[in-house]
Structure formats: structure tokens, C-alpha cells
């Protein structure tokens, strides 16, 4: 039966060409939309996780309430024992301690007077373990110079360093405040320049070793937060929400403002809302196209039935049951759906692959952005991208055929020969 239908599809162009074109378009659209969403949203999740939220993030209750202010006076203390506990309790996670801070970076002239001064956002990580620099992809972001190896060496975003006229090895002064509110000054040597391809990071970021910053800010063994990552670096929302819940039951204490609290990535910065919004937008657009495709294919099924009026009549006259013909029509449309989906998926994957390599640069539109989002948005080809095109691709023609084929039951066997003008 399938062989017979397939021959019909391949040999009778008028039967299959238009539906295949429509299905190809639908499948192509589904693949492109899905891969671009996956790439864009996935990229944003990954960037947010690496540079801001982690897959899970631990801070104090008090810090969490006003985290926008980066209140290091409310930061975690005695982080080393906490880190050991975390590594024991959650062996399938990678943990990094971090201090976030702000201040002014002062570039002196040859007399030691201020030549230039600019605001900076700083991140301090532990360079003695590779976890922090690996997670933040510091090595990949290093444009020139090297990672800090000696005390009081820092990395500066290249864009910012160029504006300050800095060279590798130059000395700069960080003006900031300790957690006790007093002014703090510290001299650093620039060891390298970084470029992340994220406007929010490239505008004015410095990265220092956590021990140096702990001493500058008067927070021995302290950290703004501890970020946790799944060992495979893939964010699983359900798992992370569950982990955070369990942690808060075991280690948390809502009454104690300095007790730790764990949040999943989705629970921070309105990311779950944003992800939901993006998902909904994608589903709505794909849904609209499935609807449009189903109508067009329904229409095309009607056309097909009219075109094949004679053929259906002869088959009925020869004794083929109406139900059998109806089912054959639906099966045929499913086959057309599969053929169209294969073609659409191939074209879609090819375009998605190009989008994955080259991406679309939105950097110019995000100069004021504070979002942890790469300037270049790329598609991402995942295993599911190979099948997503088949959902609308097979569903829409089948739906169209189900409606269009109803006409078969309206044919009167008695008047067939008259109709066929035999």
C-alpha cells in the first residue's frame, strides 16, 4: 500500500508538489525558529549563568534582598567551610566563590597624579583553582597578556583599557570602599586584556584574584556569593529548583539574615519570566503557521479531491470501500508530510548551521544594555532540531486530509458512472 501511494506521489506532480512545498516551508520555519530560540535563549542562559547567576547561587538572606546594591557588608563570611560542605553534599556540582564590587580605576601620569579615571565593575574569583576562570571562559576571552599569577594583578576589558590608554604591565589604582564603609585604595598591575563580546561586560570590567580583593575590602574569607554549576554545564531548571529547595530546607534559616539562601538561575533577574515569554512567543508563531498551513493544506486537499474526482469514482466503482480510500488519502498526506518535512528540515538545518557559525550581531543595539547577553546571537542545532519540523509537517497535512477527505463519503455509488461519463 505504502509503495503504491509513494509511486502515486512521485509520479503525479499535481498531487504532491504544492503540498510538499507548503510542508517544506512549515518544517523549515519550525527548524529555524526553534534553533534560533535555542541559540538565543540558550546563549543568554549560559552567559547569565557564567557571569552572573550560576545555575544556582548562594548568598545571605540580607544580601539577596538588596542584591542590586551589591551590599558586600552583608556578604557571606567563612566561605571556606561552606565551600567544603557544598563539595561534599553536592559532588556533581562545581562551585566558585566570587566577590562583586564597584569603584573607580585611576590611571596615573608620570608624576603619579591622576591622568584618567573611570568607573569600573569588578569581579574577583579564585585564580588558584581553575574553576572560576574556566567557567567565565577567561582564557578564551584573553586578547593579550596573561592570567594573574602574582598578588595584585588584574585583567581589564580591552575596550575600557584602550579608552584609558593602558598597556600590559601598567600600574593602576582602584578606589573603592571597604565593607565597613571606609575608603580603600589599592594599586594593581595590569596583567591582561579581555574581550567577552558582551557589552555589559566589555564597557568597564576588571577581574582580580579573590584573595587580593578580600584584603582590599576587609572581608577575609568572605564572598558576595557562591555560584554552583552542574558538572556537565547544562542547565536543568527542574533539577536546580529542586536542589535550591533542598538546600534551603537543610542550610537555610529565614529568621537569620546572615544565613545562606540558594536560588536557581530561573529565580533570579526575572529570567524564568523571560524564558517563559520567549517560549510562548515561539510557540504562538509556530502555532500560527501550523494553523495557516492546515487551512492551506485542507484547501489543497479539496483541490486534490476535485482533480482526482474521476480516480476516486473509479476506485469506488471497482468496489474499494470508502473508508479504505479515506484512510489511504490520510496516509498519503502523512507521506507527503514526511517528504516535505525531510526537505524542510534539511534546508532549515543548513540555514541554522550557518546562523550557528556566523550569528546575528545585535551589539550596536545594546550599548546601554545591562543584560548578560552576547552581542552576537547564534542559532543552536540540537538533536531535537532534527525532528521538530516533523511535528507541524506531518500534523498539518494529516489534518487537512481528514477534513478534505470527508467528501469521499458524500459520493453516491449509484450515480458514479453518470458522473464519470462512461
Report the distance separating Cα 191 and Cα 166, nearest Å.
11
Q: Which single residue is written with the C-alpha cell 597578556?
A: 145
369 binds another protein (CB under 8 A): yes
Whose cell is 453518470? That residue is 418
Enumerate residues 208-267 that contact another protein by CB under 8 A.
none
Quick check: 413 and 66 in contact, CB under 8 A?
no
- C-alpha cell, 252: 537555610
C-alpha to C-alpha distance for 64 and 60, rounded to whole angstroms: 6
Residue 157 sits in the site that holds another protein (CB under 8 A): no
Is 295 one of the binding residues for another protein (CB under 8 A)? yes
Closest distance to another protein from the beta carbon of 164 (Å): 7
- Among 172, 226, 296, 349, the residue binding another protein under the rule CB under 8 A is 296
Cα separation, 28 vs 343, in Å, equals: 8
* Least distance between another protein and beta carbon 307 (Å): 7
The pair phi, psi for residue 345, each rounded to 5°, is -65, -40
Residue of 24, 47, 72, 375 that binds another protein (CB under 8 A): 72
Rule CB under 8 A: is residue 274 a binding residue for another protein? yes
Contact of 363 with 199, CB cutoff 8 Å:
yes
Distance CA 285, CA 294 (A): 14
Task: Please pick, from the candidates 80, 171, 231, 370, the single residue that binds another protein as defined by CB under 8 A.
Answer: 370
State which residue, 181 or 319, has the beta carbon closest to another protein: 181
**Whole-number Å distance between alpha carbons of 67 and 15:** 63
Question: Nearest approach, Cβ of 36 to another protein (angstroms)?
Answer: 9
Q: Which is nearer to another protein, 72 or 264 (CB)?
A: 72
Helix (H, G, I), strand (E, B) or coil at 369: coil
Nearest C-alpha neighbor of 317 from the set 417, 187, 177, 202: 417
Give the shortest CB-216-to-another protein separation in angstroms: 13
Measured CA to CA, the distance from residue 58 to residue 260 in angstroms comes to 6
Binding to another protein (CB under 8 A) within 8-37 occurs at 18, 21-22, 25, 29
Q: Which of 236, 242, 256, 273 binds another protein (CB under 8 A)?
A: 273
364 interacts with another protein by CB under 8 A: yes
Nearer to another protein, 317 or 366 (CB): 366
Q: Which residue do the cell numbers 584602550 mark?
A: 162
Contact footprint for another protein (CB under 8 A): 18, 21-22, 25, 29, 66, 68-73, 102-104, 113-114, 116-119, 163-164, 176-177, 180-181, 203-204, 269-271, 273-274, 276-277, 285, 288-289, 291-293, 295-296, 298-300, 302-303, 306-307, 362, 364-371
Amino acid at each position: 500500500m505504502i509503495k503504491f501511494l509513494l509511486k502515486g506521489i512521485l509520479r503525479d506532480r499535481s498531487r504532491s508538489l504544492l503540498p510538499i512545498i507548503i510542508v517544506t516551508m512549515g518544517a523549515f520555519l519550525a527548524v529555524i525558529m526553534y534553533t534560533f530560540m535555542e541559540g538565543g535563549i540558550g546563549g543568554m542562559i549560559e552567559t547569565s549563568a557564567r557571569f552572573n547567576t550560576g545555575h544556582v547561587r548562594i548568598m545571605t538572606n540580607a544580601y539577596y534582598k538588596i542584591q542590586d546594591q551589591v551590599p558586600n557588608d552583608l556578604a557571606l563570611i567563612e566561605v571556606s567551610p561552606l565551600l567544603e560542605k557544598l563539595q561534599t553534599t553536592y559532588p556533581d556540582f562545581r562551585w566558585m566563590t566570587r566577590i562583586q564590587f564597584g569603584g573607580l580605576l585611576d590611571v596615573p601620569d608620570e608624576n603619579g597624579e591622576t591622568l584618567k579615571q573611570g568607573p569600573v565593575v569588578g569581579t574577583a574569583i579564585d585564580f588558584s583553582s581553575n574553576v572560576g576562570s574556566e567557567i567565565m571562559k577567561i582564557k578564551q576571552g584573553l586578547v593579550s597578556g596573561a592570567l594573574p599569577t602574582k598578588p595584585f594583578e588584574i585583567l581589564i576589558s580591552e575596550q575600557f583599557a584602550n579608552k584609558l590608554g593602558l598597556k600590559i604591565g601598567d600600574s593602576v589604582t582602584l578606589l573603592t570602599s571597604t565593607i565597613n564603609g571606609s575608603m580603600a585604595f589599592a594599586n594593581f598591575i595590569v596583567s591582561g586584556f579581555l574581550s567577552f563580546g558582551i557589552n555589559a561586560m566589555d564597557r568597564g570590567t576588571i577581574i582580580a584574584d579573590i584573595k587580593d580583593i578580600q584584603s582590599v575590602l576587609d572581608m577575609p574569607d568572605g564572598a558576595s556569593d557562591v555560584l554552583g554549576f552542574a558538572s556537565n554545564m547544562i542547565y536543568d531548571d527542574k533539577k536546580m529548583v529542586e536542589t535550591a529547595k533542598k538546600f534551603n530546607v537543610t542550610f537555610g534559616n529565614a529568621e537569620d539574615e546572615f544565613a545562606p539562601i540558594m536560588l536557581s538561575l530561573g529565580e533570579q533577574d526575572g529570567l524564568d519570566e523571560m524564558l517563559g515569554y520567549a517560549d510562548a512567543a515561539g510557540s504562538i508563531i509556530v502555532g500560527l503557521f501550523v494553523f495557516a498551513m492546515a487551512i492551506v493544506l485542507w484547501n489543497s486537499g479539496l483541490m486534490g479531491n476535485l482533480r482526482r474526482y474521476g480516480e476516486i469514482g473509479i476506485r469506488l466503482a471497482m468496489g474499494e470501500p470508502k473508508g479504505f480510500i479515506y484512510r489511504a488519502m490520510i496516509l498519503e498526506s502523512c507521506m507527503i508530510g514526511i517528504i516535505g518535512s525531510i526537505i524542510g528540515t534539511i534546508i532549515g538545518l543548513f540555514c541554522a548551521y550557518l546562523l550557528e557559525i556566523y550569528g546575528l550581531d545585535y551589539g550596536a543595539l545594546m550599548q546601554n544594555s545591562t543584560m548578560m547577553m552576547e552581542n552576537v546571537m547564534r542559532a543552536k542545532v540540537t538533536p531535537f532540531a532534527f525532528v521538530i519540523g516533523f511535528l507541524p509537517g506531518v500534523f498539518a497535512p494529516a489534518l487537512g486530509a481528514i477534513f478534505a477527505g470527508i467528501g469521499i463519503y458524500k459520493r453516491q455509488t449509484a450515480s458514479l458512472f453518470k458522473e464519470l461519463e462512461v
